[in-house]
Amino acid sequence: MRHTISVLVDNKPGVLARVAGLFSGRGFNIECLSVNETLDPTVSQMTLVTRGDDQLIEQIIKQLNKLIDVIKVVDLENGDYVGREMALIKVSVENTKRSEVLSIVDIFRGKVVDISPSFYTIEVTGDEAKIRAIVELFKPIGIKEIARTGKVALTRESKERKA
């Protein structure tokens, strides 16, 4: 099963290498990874997506925790969370009606962020399913290039107000 794991780490040189090295050295796979600073500049947040059975995921989480620079590891799959990624998609508009592209962009609440005579660059954010869907729709139209961020994620707060 796929798991999205959030890892808080000390913002120090070499930390990414330690995490990446852990995955390659132990034969765990990373499907995607994003790293960013948090509100506290001494702390970075990594969001990584990996795949494995329960035992493997447990081992991955323990191994991450064992790294000296890792402050906290949360398996987001254990609760409810919001996960988003962003894609920039360069779509050919030469032989097609621009309106067709624009209507897809509209439906997916994307944005056209760059225009040239032959290409539109479209920005779209959403969960993986949404990104996959829009990519599929643009494919027959003609995608020149695509750039995607890794997933970023936050746990959902409880809907009820705390007493």
Partner 1 sequence: MAGDTVKLTGAQIFLECLQREQVKVIFGYPGGSVLDVYNHLYDASIKHILVRHEQAAVHAADGYARVTGEVGVCLVTSGPGATNTVTGIATAHMDSIPVVVFSGQVPTMLIGNDAFQEADIVGITRPCTKHNYLVRDVKELAAVIKEAFYIARSGRPGPVLVDLPKDVLRASDTFHYPEHITMRSYRPTYKGNKRQIVRAMEEMVAARKPVIYAGGGVILSNASKELTTFARKLNIPVTTTLMGLGAFPGSDPLCLGMLGMHGTYRANMAVTHCDLLIAIGARFDDRVTGDLNKFAPSAKVIHMDIDPTSISKNIKVDIPIVGDVREIIKECLTIISEQKIQKDHRKEWLNEIKHWREKHTLAYKKSTNIKPQYVIEKIYELTKGDCIVATEVGQNQMWTAQYFTFDKPRRLLTSGGLGTMGYGFPAAIGAQVAFPDKTVIDIAGDGSIQMNIQELATAVQYQLPVKIVILNNHCLGMVRQWQELFYDKRYSHSRFETHPDFVKLAEAYGAVGLRATKPEEVEKVIKRGLATHKTVIMEFVVESEEGVYPMVPAGASIDKMILL
Name the site residues for partner 1 (rule: CB under 8 A). Answer: 9-10, 13-14, 17-18, 21, 25, 55, 58-59, 62-63, 65-66, 68-71
Q: How far apart are CA 4 and CA 135, in angstroms?
A: 22
Q: How far apart are CA 36 and CA 50, in angstroms?
A: 18
Q: How far is the CB of 23 from partner 1 (least distance, A)?
A: 11
Is residue 152 within 8 A of residue 83, CB to CB? The reply is: yes
Toward partner 1, which CB reaches closer, 68 or 129? 68
Toward partner 1, which CB reaches closer, 20 or 147? 20
Q: How far is the CB of 2 from partner 1 (least distance, A)?
A: 21
State which amino acid sits at residue 37. E
Toward partner 1, which CB reaches closer, 25 or 41? 25
Is residue 151 within 8 A of residue 130, CB to CB? The reply is: no
Q: How far is the CB of 59 from partner 1 (least distance, A)?
A: 6
Instruction: Fill in the DSSP letter of residue 43.
Output: E
Q: How far is the CB of 163 from partner 1 (least distance, A)?
A: 28
Toward partner 1, which CB reaches closer, 25 or 117? 25
Q: How far apart are CA 30 and CA 11, in angstroms?
A: 20
